[in-house]
Structure 1
Amino acid sequence: MGNLLEMVLGQQNSGAIGQIAKNFDLDMGDATKALGSLLPALQGGMQRNVKQQGGLESLLGTLNKNQNQQYVDQPELLGQPQAIDNGNSILGHIFGSKEVSRQVAQQASQQTGLDSSMLKKMLPMAASVLMGSLGKEQARQPMGGNQSMIEGLLDADGDGSMMDDLLGMAGKLFR
């Protein structure tokens, strides 16, 4: 079960990445770069949520509903208003505030040289694709209450601790 970034940016999601590229008038390279710069923050937010009381159950409940898989299977849905609303509700859950979304977009903008307001608009789509990818993985290989499997997926540097990944990311966010 590889790294989350590889999973989301992998071949099976090239349709979704292509759709995001089209929506924002980017080439595949820039769209992949943009998503690659947004996903670590989403990953970190999910790690934090899974650590909280009931967080893992909540994540699994969402994955088992699997409404997000449609955005991976039918990428053309990604630009539609309900997809954006869906992505925004995921972001609200992951980040807790619009302010964090803004900071994430600014951070990604500094990394990529892409416009931060565009990246902020891309965030809900990235969130939908991320949850869709996780949902597909869950369907393929149920994680059940297997916290270690989910934590492994969310542990960015593979050292078994999510806290340093999150703190490292938060450090970058608030530097």
Structure 2
Amino acid sequence: MNLLEMILNSQNGGAVRQLAQNFGLEQNQAASAISNLVPALSSGLMRNVSQAGGLESLLSALGGGQHARYLDDLSTLGRPETVEDGNGILGHILGSKDVSRQVARAASRQSGIGEDVLKKMLPVVAGMVMGALSKQSTSLGAARQQRSAGGSDLLGTFASFLDANRDGSIADDVLGIVGKLFQK
């Protein structure tokens, strides 16, 4: 199961229903919003983990951030502290508010959902992304131990989890995101 599927299927679709309720959307609109936001966040994560120390930094954040609660306890999705935490996550993943705005704008064009709604939803979805990654951190931690012992490539494990369309490559996912960001 990839990152997007894990979020969409969380709590048997309960996370999608909760976001729909929190943001005044239909359930299919919330699913569309998530489907259009997660690839951009995945791309930012891949960029970060491919840099020196990035993977270790992510694993450290996953180990201490208690992010799994965003998928385990759906009531957290409507709390102000979730938005605050999500904005911090966005700062690390995307780097700036300008990039966050571009992501919301591109997702709005693709989904037909208002950009203002998506700007508000983006930090919550960022928390959900970290929650999904946190739930997978056990396998990532095992892969990290393998890597330390000269084993398999952890980036490959991580990339396969982020592969939105499960074609074995995130390159097309990243190119699609970049294309969406710069379309007008």
| Cα RMSD for the two superposed structures | 1.8
Answering whether residue 175 of structure 2 is matched by residue 174 of structure 1, we say no
Q: Give every structure 1 segment of 4 or more consecutive aligned residues whose post-TM-superposition deviation is greater than 6 Å.
A: none
Answering whether residue 58 of structure 2 is matched by residue 59 of structure 1, we say yes
Q: Which residue of 2 aligns with 1:42?
A: 41
Distance in structure 1 (CA, Å) of the matches to 2:121 and 2:81 = 14
Q: Which residue of 2 aligns with 1:86?
A: 85
Larger Cα-atom Rg = 2
More deviation, 61-70/4-13: 4-13
Task: Report the CA distance between 1:66 and its aligned residue.
Answer: 4.3
Q: Aligned partner of 2:11: which letter?
A: Q
* % identical aligned pairs: 49
Distance 1:24 1:156, change over 3 A: closer
Task: Report the CA distance between 1:160 and its aligned residue.
Answer: 5.1
Contact 2:76–2:82, Cα closer than 8 Å, also in 1: yes
More deviation, 104-113/15-24: 15-24
Q: Aligned partner of 2:128: which letter?
A: V
Answering whether residue 160 of structure 2 is matched by residue 152 of structure 1, we say yes
The alignment's TM-score, normalised by the length of structure 2, stands at 0.85
The alignment's TM-score, normalised by the length of structure 1, stands at 0.89
Q: Aligned partner of 1:55: which letter?
A: G
Task: Report the CA distance between 1:164 and its aligned residue.
Answer: 4.9
Count of aligned residue pairs for this structure pair: 173
Q: Which residue of 1 aligns with 2:127?
A: 128
Distance in structure 2 (CA, Å) of the matches to 1:13 and 1:152 = 23
Secondary structure at the aligned position of 2:36 is classed as: helix
Task: Report the CA distance between 1:142 and its aligned residue.
Answer: 4.2
Q: Which residue of 1 aligns with 2:97?
A: 98
Distance in structure 2 (CA, Å) of the matches to 1:167 and 1:52 = 19
Choose which of 147, 165, 172 in structure 1 pairs with 2:173: 165
Task: Report the CA distance between 1:101 and its aligned residue.
Answer: 0.8
Task: Report the CA distance between 1:116 and its aligned residue.
Answer: 0.4
Q: Which residue of 2 aligns with 1:72?
A: 71
Task: Report the CA distance between 1:158 and its aligned residue.
Answer: 4.7
